[in-house]
Amino acid sequence: MNNKTVWIVNKHSRPPEYETHFRYIKYAQYLKDKGYDVKIICSSYVHNINIELIDNECNWVEKEYDGLKYVLLKTLPYKGNGVKRIYSLFQFTNRVISLIKNSSKPDVIIHTSNTPFTNRLCSFAKKNEVKYIAEILDLWPESFVSFGLLSKSNPFMKVAYKMEKWLYTNADNIVFSMEGGKDYIIDKKWDKQFNNSAIDLDKVLYINNSVDLYDYNNIKSKNSFEVSELDTESIFKVVYIGSISLANNIRSLIEAAELLQENKKIKFFIYGDGSDREKLEKYCNDKRISNIYFKEKRIDYKYVPSLLSKSSLNILNFQQSDIERYGGCQGKLFNYIASSRPICSNVEMGYCLINKHNLGIAKNFKSSKDYANAILSISELDKEDYNAMCDRVKSVSEEYDFKIQASKLIEIL
């Protein structure tokens, strides 16, 4: 057994009833099982559903949910990506530091890190002899360059890159959720091994998002998602679940679906909400596209396993960008994999699990017709080939069970 105290710090973590990304809950559960004293430190404000979990004037409260310890820190509510969001990010870091000053300090901090908002916590941890593990879920600020929002020569980017390098240099370990994290550091010429710079690649680890197969299958058996169309065996059900915004590029999926209208067997089901949903629904209505169904804006996670198990093909959809060469860490991908159904993605990322294991098709489609043809090709597989693909998906899900992935984290604590 271990008596170390571990704080898992992620502003956007939530209590289980509101959570849709279970990486940190699973970390906490498996670490607790190994004897660690674990707390999840997160904001009390659940921004996308506008819920405040602290009902008094306190700046923080400690609560327990499903046997896990949480510390909820009050931060400024916000909408969108404006000044209030930026203030909230800095405020959260400051509240974590204040919490450490006013309580027993942890032995280890596992921190979802975004430069420059999180650098101060790394510095504070180092000064107070707390092991600091930086978890990198997004390559920020590189994303601004990749999506064409800023150039590398922009003064802001130059400062941001310096702060990013500082964070990676000073963290005790770096955990990338995308497999190409080391490649990213080498491409920046920040590594010690190949470029004689500051960052030791030996302290860099790769832990992708995963899925707890026991929980997933247990949830599926207890919570059936009842939709008559999804229970119809005669149709090929193409399902997308997630945000409907610029970054997800759902317009490309709709344009591909539009080309398949004459195929009465294939139907598209879109679940989720976002800034683009209203105009995309209007586009479909105006053009009388008959094979696309916009469904619930939000689904309780307990119904997701059942829903996905009823699909014929699950869709991953993104804006294509250069940053994808380092791989991805979509929690959605592992829910799709756990469903044992083929996957089609309009982006071929580096280290692509879909193509590596032949779980479907992942490709940077040059046109809507190419995208439509990919979907059509999977729908036309004979039963034996389709079932073999489903079996491969199931096999890969076992490799990415949370139990296996969490053991990698335990090795560096």
Residue 143 confidence (pLDDT): 85
Residue 403 confidence (pLDDT): 87
Question: With a cut of 50, which residues of the chain have pLDDT below it?
Answer: none
Rounded to 5 degrees, what are φ and ψ at 380? -100, 5
End-to-end C-alpha distance for the chain, whole angstroms: 13
Q: What is the DSSP string of 247-266?
A: GGTHHHHHHHHHTTTT-TTE
Number of H helices, E strands in the chain: 16, 16
Residues 302 and 336 grouped into a single domain: yes
Q: Which residue stretches of 171-267 are H helix?
A: 181-187, 192-195, 213-222, 250-258
CB 106 within 8 A of CB 100: yes
Q: Residue 345: which region, alpha, beta or left (left: phi > 0; alpha: psi -120 to 50)?
A: beta
d(CA 310, CA 232): 9
CATH assignment at residue 288: 3.40.50.2000
Residue 79 confidence (pLDDT): 82
Rounded to 5 degrees, what are φ and ψ at 18? -105, -5
Range of the domain at 361: 213-399
Residue 144 confidence (pLDDT): 84
Residue 37 confidence (pLDDT): 97
Residues 310 and 378 grouped into a single domain: yes
Here the tokens at position 326 are 């380092």
Residues 58 and 171 grouped into a single domain: yes
Residue 1 confidence (pLDDT): 58
Residues 115 and 258 grouped into a single domain: no
d(CA 88, CA 117): 10
d(CA 387, CA 380): 12
Q: Which residue stretches of 102-212 are H helix?
A: 119-127, 142-146, 155-170, 181-187, 192-195
Residues 179 and 271 grouped into a single domain: no
Residue 48 confidence (pLDDT): 74
Residue 254 confidence (pLDDT): 97
Residues 180 and 326 grouped into a single domain: no
pLDDT digits (tens, 9 = 90+) for 114-150: 888 999 999 999 999 999 999 999 898 898 888 777 8
Residue 231 confidence (pLDDT): 84
Residues 251 and 382 grouped into a single domain: yes
Residues 374 and 332 grouped into a single domain: yes
Residue 178 confidence (pLDDT): 94
Residue given tokens 């491969």 in the structure block: 392
Q: Is omega for the bond preceding 141 within 30 degrees of 0, making it cis?
A: yes
- In the chain, how many domains are there? 2
Residue 20 confidence (pLDDT): 77
Task: Give Cα separations from 144 to 81, 149, 182, 296, 315 (angstroms).
Answer: 14, 5, 20, 31, 25
Residues 119 and 222 grouped into a single domain: no
CB atoms within 10 A of CB 144: 17
Residues 173 and 241 grouped into a single domain: no
Residue 196 confidence (pLDDT): 96
HSE-CB at 296 with a 13 A cutoff on CA atoms is 11
Selection from 217, 214, 259, 207 nearest residue 238 by Cα: 259
Residues 60 and 29 grouped into a single domain: yes
Residues 282 and 170 grouped into a single domain: no
CB 396 within 8 A of CB 353: yes
Count of positions (residues) in the chain: 413
